[in-house]
């Protein structure tokens, strides 16, 4: 540590599946990181990769620490120590980490350097979500939000709702939530409510999302944005709208509030925002849910594009990245929707059914050896 003392942190890396390709999944820094959480998130990544049909299995990692109370130097030394322990575990053909909660491009840059120094040559493909200067991809930072908007547009078509003027509420205004709101507004949707950990704001005529983003950058919160009324944070989920985007924490929609949800579409930009019990309530209400493993798979999809570019040392334009992302997300949406119609099940069950069947088929074809 900066004061000369020593601190021991516990880190994890869990690999869930290698049937369809190398493992893929983020690394998070958070005080609550534990092995059970990382196991669950690793499995989530397997299904997420399979539902959009990209050749990855699932992995996840994390370090139990409080990054908010650590200096840049302490974070770097911890990251490099962690990466050194993982040199034999990760790699572009084995397991490719990425940013997650409280990790970013800089953390990925430290991992690239540590891994490359151990190997003796530059290996940009060992992680994704890294800076452009080290082989990152255009469009990666926006990928989760952009992918969420692409599947939302398809859901609106299914329900016969024009995106022009369709209303949206976004819970959580971090990377995924703010970018979903911004890109949705660019497609003509009216974002009427957004929230962060400090509270929520509402404006029936629609919020100027670029200005809300600027306000949050300056003040640290969406609260206090001029021309908008404040809502209690838990009231945002009850906002009447065409599309509700939970982009914050797991379990945000639960039996205590599911009956208050007043929307036609729920597009899950967060992982696990709806509990199984709440899903049943939403089904009874006739709400069209685009599940997390589909709705927020834009991130892993562009991570796949980045991995391909890094491995080839040949890079695409942002337009090409976004075009390919849309192609993947739209195709995956309709594969899941068709499965849901054919089997008479909801979109979440259809997405899991499709993902698990793809992994199972790969395992069946490969067989067991030795």
Report yes or no on 254 lying in a domain: yes
Asked if 154 and 193 sit in the same domain, the reply is yes
Asked if 42 and 159 sit in the same domain, the reply is no
Per-residue pLDDT at 160: 97
Q: What is the pLDDT of residues 201-221, one digit of tens each?
A: 999 999 999 999 999 999 999
Report DSSP state, residue 253.
Answer: B
Contact 99, 131 (CB under 8 A): no
Q: What is the pLDDT of residues 49-61, one digit of tens each?
A: 999 999 999 999 9
Per-residue pLDDT at 212: 97
For the segment 151-172, the average pLDDT, to the nearest whole number, is: 97
Per-residue pLDDT at 315: 95
Report DSSP state, residue 124.
Answer: G
Report yes or no on 90 lying in a domain: yes
- Which pTM was predicted? 0.93
Asked if 55 and 170 sit in the same domain, the reply is no
CATH number at residue 86: 3.40.50.10860
Full residue range of the structural domain in which residue 95 is found = 10-134
Work out the pLDDT band at 188, boundaries 50, 70, 90: very high
Average pLDDT, rounded, for the chain:
96
State the Cα–Cα distance between residues 370 and 27, nearest whole angstrom: 32
Per-residue pLDDT at 234: 73
Phi, psi of 187 (to 5 degrees): -90, 10
Per-residue pLDDT at 12: 98
Report yes or no on 53 lying in a domain: yes
For the segment 328-345, the average pLDDT, to the nearest whole number, is: 98
State the Cα–Cα distance between residues 318 and 304, nearest whole angstrom: 15
| High-pLDDT (> 70) share of the chain, % | 100
Report yes or no on 268 lying in a domain: yes
Asked if 215 and 125 sit in the same domain, the reply is no
State the Cα–Cα distance between residues 153 and 223, nearest whole angstrom: 28
| High-pLDDT (> 90) share of the chain, % | 95
Where does a domain end: 102, 134, 166? 134
Asked if 214 and 339 sit in the same domain, the reply is yes
pLDDT score of 7 more than 90: yes
**C-alpha triplet 25, 40, 354: angle, nearest 5°:** 80
For the segment 17-40, the average pLDDT, to the nearest whole number, is: 96
Centre a 10 Å sphere on the Cβ of residue 54 and count the other Cβ atoms it contains. Answer: 21
Asked if 64 and 183 sit in the same domain, the reply is no
pLDDT score of 309 more than 80: yes
Where does a domain end: 116, 134, 152? 134
Asked if 74 and 150 sit in the same domain, the reply is no
Report yes or no on 80 lying in a domain: yes
Phi, psi of 354 (to 5 degrees): -65, -45
Per-residue pLDDT at 340: 98
Report yes or no on 346 lying in a domain: yes
Asked if 79 and 183 sit in the same domain, the reply is no
Per-residue pLDDT at 233: 65
Asked if 168 and 117 sit in the same domain, the reply is no
Beta-ladder partners of 25: 97
Asked if 217 and 239 sit in the same domain, the reply is yes
For the segment 280-289, the average pLDDT, to the nearest whole number, is: 97
CATH number at residue 261: 3.40.50.720
Interstrand relation of 190-196 and 263-267 (parallel, antiparallel or unpaired)? unpaired
Where does a domain end: 100, 134, 168? 134
Report yes or no on 3 lying in a domain: no
Number of domains in the chain: 2
Asked if 110 and 234 sit in the same domain, the reply is no
Q: Which of 115-124, 163-172, 225-234 comes out lowest in average pLDDT?
A: 225-234
For the segment 320-337, the average pLDDT, to the nearest whole number, is: 98
Asked if 153 and 267 sit in the same domain, the reply is yes
Closest C-alpha to 77, from 3, 148, 149, 135:
3
Phi, psi of 170 (to 5 degrees): -125, 115
For the segment 19-32, the average pLDDT, to the nearest whole number, is: 96
pLDDT score of 101 more than 90: no
Report yes or no on 5 lying in a domain: no
Q: Residue with structure tokens 């509402």?
A: 202
Reported as type and span, the H/E element at residue 159 is: helix 143-159
């Amino acid at each position: 540590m900066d004061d000369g003392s020593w601190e021991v942190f516990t880190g994890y890396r869990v690999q869930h599946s290698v049937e369809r390709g190398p493992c893929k999944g983020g690394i998070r820094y958070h005080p609550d990181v534990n092995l059970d959480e990382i196991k669950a998130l690793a499995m989530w990544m397997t299904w997420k990769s399979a539902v959009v049909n990209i050749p990855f299995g699932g992995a996840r990692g994390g370090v139990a620490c409080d990054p908010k109370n650590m200096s840049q130097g302490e974070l770097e030394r911890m990251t490099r120590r962690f990466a050194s322990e993982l040199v034999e575990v990760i790699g572009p053909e084995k397991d490719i980490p990425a940013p997650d909660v409280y990790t970013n491009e800089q953390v990925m840059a430290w991992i690239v350097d540590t891994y490359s120094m151990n190997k003796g040559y530059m290996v940009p493909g060992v992680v994704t979500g890294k800076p452009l200067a080290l082989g990152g991809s255009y469009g990666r930072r926006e990928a989760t939000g952009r992918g969420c908007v692409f599947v939302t547009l398809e859901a609106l078509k299914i329900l016969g709702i024009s995106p022009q003027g369709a209303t949206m509420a976004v819970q959580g205004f971090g990377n995924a939530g703010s970018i979903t709101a911004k890109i949705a507004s660019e497609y003509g949707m009216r974002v009427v409510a957004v929230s962060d950990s400090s509270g929520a704001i509402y404006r029936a005529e629609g919020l100027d999302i670029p200005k809300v983003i600027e306000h949050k950058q300056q003040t640290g919160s969406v609260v206090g944005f001029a021309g908008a009324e404040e809502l209690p944070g838990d009231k945002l989920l009850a906002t009447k709208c065409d599309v509700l985007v939970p982009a914050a924490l797991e379990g945000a929609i639960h039996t205590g509030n599911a009956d208050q949800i007043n929307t036609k579409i729920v597009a899950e930009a967060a992982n696990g925002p709806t509990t199984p019990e709440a899903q049943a309530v939403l089904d009874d209400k006739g709400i069209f849910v685009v599940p997390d493993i589909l709705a927020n798979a834009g991130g892993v999809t562009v991570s796949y594009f980045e991995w391909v570019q890094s491995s080839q040392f040949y890079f695409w334009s942002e337009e090409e990245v976004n075009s390919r992302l849309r192609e993947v997300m739209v195709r995956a949406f309709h594969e899941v929707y068709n499965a849901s119609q054919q089997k008479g099940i909801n979109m979440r069950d259809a997405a899991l059914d499709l993902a698990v069947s793809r992994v199972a088929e790969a395992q069946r074809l490969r067989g067991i050896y030795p």
